[in-house]
Amino acid sequence: MLAALAVPCIACDDPEIPVGPPRCEPEHEHEVDRRLKLGFKALVMGESARARELFQAVLSEEPMHPEAQLGMRLLQGKQAIEPAAPGAGSATPAPGKDSGSKPAVSPSAAVAGQPPAGRIQVAGQWLPIAVAVDAERWRFEELRELAPLRKARDGAGAAFSYYRERKPEGVAVAANDSAALLQALDLIVLHDTHTRTARDAIIELEGSGGSTHFIIDWDGAIYQVLDLVWEANHTQLAAVDARSVSIDLVNPVELGNKPGLPDEAEDRGLHRPLSEFVRVQAEEVQQWGYTDAQLASLEALVRGLGKVLPRVPLRVPVAGPVPRAMLDAPDAARGVIGHLHVSRRAQDPGAGFPWEAFDRALRAP
């Protein structure tokens, strides 16, 4: 979506009277177009303050510019949607006002015995959960709403739908039917993102049409990015997606040439370990593992979801060592599993995920 850099146009200096359509776009138009594109991208990513700054810059020069006015109307519409109180019934997602300027909330205090007040969106209702969750910064509901606008503006291909109605056993769950939803969900599926930050993960999913319900960043910050009532596009297996909650753990996974964490992680004392060589789906691999903050947040989130979702057992559904390969009967699995347990083509959450320790932690009282 980034505009091309403006370059000097020799033809515009031609003293002859031009014939036909202009051969050069004035530099001012390049700057307006650049601001608009960046403004809509910031809007899509939930960075409301940045989007407002860019749209206002255009309107300060062209007060009647239609696209800048549209951007401001979308922002004002977002600001009119106030988050519902925990437990209140509201079918409207809560994309927070100015959420792009808010710092991420780290839920690590929950593991230390002082759980901060949090909430998640379940069938349009805000339910309390004993772990801090940012449910406002990024939302796939907003991405889908803006997809036709991006397509019309940028001339892209088909607009992605990102998520769909849940249809366990072929019967759709209504968007506000929490009772039917809680009966449908009996599985949590863990993924890795192949990115270094949650923001990058959202961008990757946006570009591929995938989606998830939660993302846990490298520092342990938890984001809910989709109401649980919607079926996320995360395994491409209808029987699994219809009854599961998806959690993405930020991890570049492959070693490559870049460090496993952003530079600021070192200042905060966070470390991403390397795995041993592990056989995953019949392939020996060594990959990045997970920070202590991520694993603490994951345990706290899954425990919290276990109290909200009565049909999800807090355990990995295997006896003995957890296999790093597809299960024999993945359609019958209930509890907490990885993407690799339902698909031979998947390896996530990767060689660096400590399955046995995680399973013991979940089963502990």
Bridge-based pairing state of the strands 230-232 and 163-165: antiparallel
Does 97 fall in a domain? no
Which of 24-28, 182-186, 207-211, 249-253 comes out lowest in average pLDDT?
24-28
Q: Taking a C-beta distance cutoff of 8 angstroms, is the pair 38, 136 a contact?
A: no
Among the listed residues 32, 20, 72, the one whose alpha carbon sits nearest the alpha carbon of residue 48 = 72
Check residues 83 and 345 and name the one with the higher pLDDT. Answer: 345
Q: How confident is the model at residue 56 (pLDDT cuts 50, 70, 90)?
A: confident
| For residue 315, pLDDT beyond 90 | yes
**DSSP 3-state of 134:** strand
The phi, psi pair for 342, rounded to 5°, reads -120, -5
User: Which DSSP symbol is given to 236?
Assistant: S
Does 328 fall in a domain? yes
d(CA 278, CA 296): 23
Q: Taking a C-beta distance cutoff of 8 angstroms, is the pair 232, 209 a contact?
A: no
Q: What is the pLDDT of residue 282?
A: 93
User: Which DSSP symbol is given to 356?
Assistant: H
Q: What is the pLDDT of residue 62?
A: 81
Look up residue 304 and give its two tokens.
């919290």
Does 164 fall in a domain? yes
Does 322 fall in a domain? yes
Got the DSSP string for 184-197? H--EEEEEE-SSSS
Q: How confident is the model at residue 117 (pLDDT cuts 50, 70, 90)?
A: low
Q: Taking a C-beta distance cutoff of 8 angstroms, is the pair 159, 147 a contact?
A: yes
Same domain, residue pair 147 and 289? yes
Q: What is the pLDDT of residue 26?
A: 52
Same domain, residue pair 73 and 194? no
Average pLDDT over residues 325-335: 93
Q: What is the pLDDT of residue 78?
A: 39
Same domain, residue pair 218 and 329? yes
Check residues 86 and 66 and name the one with the higher pLDDT. Answer: 66
Check residues 322 and 65 and name the one with the higher pLDDT. Answer: 322
Does 20 fall in a domain? no
The phi, psi pair for 4, rounded to 5°, reads -65, 150
Same domain, residue pair 213 and 333? yes
Same domain, residue pair 357 and 215? yes
Count of domains forming the chain: 2
Among the listed residues 321, 320, 359, the one whose alpha carbon sits nearest the alpha carbon of residue 337 = 359
| For residue 43, pLDDT beyond 90 | no
Among the listed residues 231, 227, 241, 244, the one whose alpha carbon sits nearest the alpha carbon of residue 91 = 227
Q: What CATH number is associated with residue 357?
A: 3.40.80.10
Same domain, residue pair 181 and 319? yes
Each residue's pLDDT tens digit, 167-192: 998 899 999 999 999 999 999 999 99
Same domain, residue pair 74 and 157? no
Q: How confident is the model at residue 350 (pLDDT cuts 50, 70, 90)?
A: very high
Does 313 fall in a domain? yes
Q: What is the pTM of this model?
A: 0.72
Same domain, residue pair 74 and 169? no
Which residues on neighbouring strands pair with residue 237, listed in sequence order? none
Q: How confident is the model at residue 88 (pLDDT cuts 50, 70, 90)?
A: very low
Residue that has been written with the tokens 């019967």 in this structure: 171
Burial class, 149, CB count within 10 angstroms (exposed 0-12 / middle 13-18 / buried 19+): middle
Average pLDDT over residues 188-211: 95
Among the listed residues 351, 297, 295, 356, the one whose alpha carbon sits nearest the alpha carbon of residue 324 = 351
Does 87 fall in a domain? no
Among the listed residues 200, 232, 194, 197, the one whose alpha carbon sits nearest the alpha carbon of residue 214 = 232
| Count of helix runs (H) and strand runs (E) in the chain | 10, 11
- Boundary residue ending a domain (38, 54, 79): 79
| For residue 133, pLDDT beyond 90 | yes
| For residue 336, pLDDT beyond 90 | yes
On average, the pLDDT of the chain sits at 82
Each residue's pLDDT tens digit, 274-299: 999 999 999 999 999 999 999 999 99
Residue 69 domain boundaries? 25-79
Same domain, residue pair 203 and 70? no
d(CA 8, CA 313): 64
Q: What is the pLDDT of residue 29?
A: 65
Average pLDDT over residues 204-217: 95
| For residue 1, pLDDT beyond 60 | no
Same domain, residue pair 211 and 330? yes
Among the listed residues 99, 199, 95, 98, the one whose alpha carbon sits nearest the alpha carbon of residue 139 = 95
| For residue 2, pLDDT beyond 80 | no
Same domain, residue pair 229 and 326? yes
- Boundary residue ending a domain (79, 105, 120): 79
Same domain, residue pair 256 and 354? yes
- Boundary residue ending a domain (64, 79, 94): 79
Which of 106-120, 123-137, 178-192, 227-241 comes out lowest in average pLDDT?
106-120
| For residue 16, pLDDT beyond 50 | no
Q: What is the pLDDT of residue 28?
A: 61
| For residue 98, pLDDT beyond 60 | no
Does 336 fall in a domain? yes
Average pLDDT over residues 54-75: 78
Name the H helices within 45-139: 48-61, 66-79
Average pLDDT over residues 137-160: 82
